């Protein structure tokens, strides 16, 4: 049976890249995004026939949306096996300029999206006795951030903790839960957050002197999604060019 993978925030950027690599690896792929047209565009680009993809609208702040999307996936493909909690909002507002409202908005969306993805979709996977959940954390959640705001960093640190909590909850029921914590990746989001005049300075602070490769993140997701990855759970995989070592 072909496994089915769902990616949140997949209407652009890394999420779209992850969808492409999962599709290449043989998965049926659910492209989910708050912007349905963006999700549909990615799905059409990756799979013109529409045979192996499903585009759905998903507001990751809504539990009802997660439940609705799960129902749509089951109607279309009959099962769900892999969840990539990728959706997030990135802000670079200086620490002392972050308003309480902006803090709540960033932390609330980033953390709530992973909580609901693990809670709603994870419950289904656990009921089926098999599943792989991969949460996108960040180096910012480990070292306080290099180019992102405090609210973003705080949310990503909390995602690492949530990953451990859900890993313990689901471990005995065949579901693994892991996180990936990338440093600066050669991606649209990083280039948008770091002005061109600051890029060389950023590279100079990375021990390997280069931005990370988005394709490698996708490869890592494919590996963690494999059935053979059953013995890896509750882990945070560091992909940061040596910026954070432990």
DSSP labels, 115-136: HHIIIIIHHHHHHHT-EEEEEE
DSSP labels, 1-47: ---EEEESS-SSHHHHHHHHHHHHTT-EEEEEESSHHHHHHHHHHH-
Note if 130 is an active site residue.
no
Task: Determine which one of 124, 130, 152, 230 is catalytic.
Answer: 152
Q: Helix H segments across 59-207?
A: 63-77, 100-116, 122-128, 140-143, 150-170, 188-193, 196-205
First to last CA, the chain: 39
Which residues 6+ apart lie within 8 Å of 122 measured at CB?
A: 83, 131, 133, 166, 169, 170, 175, 177
42, 85 contact by CB (below 8 A): no
Query: Whose CA is closest to 42, among 25, 14, 19?
Result: 19
Beta bridge partners of 84: 7, 134
Q: Which residues are catalytic?
A: 152
């Amino acid at each position: 049976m072909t496994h089915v993978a769902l990616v949140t925030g997949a209407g652009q950027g890394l999420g779209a890249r992850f969808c492409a690599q999962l599709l290449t690896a043989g998965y049926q792929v659910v492209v989910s995004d708050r912007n349905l047209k963006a999700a549909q565009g990615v799905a059409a680009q990756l799979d013109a026939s529409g045979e192996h993809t499903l585009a759905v609208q998903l507001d990751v702040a809504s539990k009802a949306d997660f439940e609705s999307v799960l129902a749509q996936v089951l109607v279309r493909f009959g099962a769900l096996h892999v969840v990539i909690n990728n959706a997030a909002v990135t802000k670079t507002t200086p620490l002392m300029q972050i308003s309480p409202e902006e803090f709540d908005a960033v932390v609330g969306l980033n953390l709530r999206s992973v909580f609901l993805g693990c809670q709603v979709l994870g419950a289904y996977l656990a009921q089926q006795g098999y599943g792989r959940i991969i949460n996108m954390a960040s180096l910012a959640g480990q070292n306080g951030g290099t180019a992102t705001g405090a609210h973003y960093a705080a949310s990503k640190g909390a995602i690492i903790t949530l990953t451990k909590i859900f890993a313990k909850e689901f471990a005995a029921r065949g579901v693994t839960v892991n996180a990936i914590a990338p440093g600066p990746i050669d991606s649209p989001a990083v280039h948008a957050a770091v002005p061109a005049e600051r890029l060389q300075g950023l590279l100079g602070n990375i021990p390997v002197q280069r931005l990370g490769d988005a394709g490698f993140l996708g490869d890592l997701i494919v590996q963690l999604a494999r059935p053979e990855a059953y013995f890896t759970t509750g882990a945070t995989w560091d992909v940061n060019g040596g910026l954070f070592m432990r």
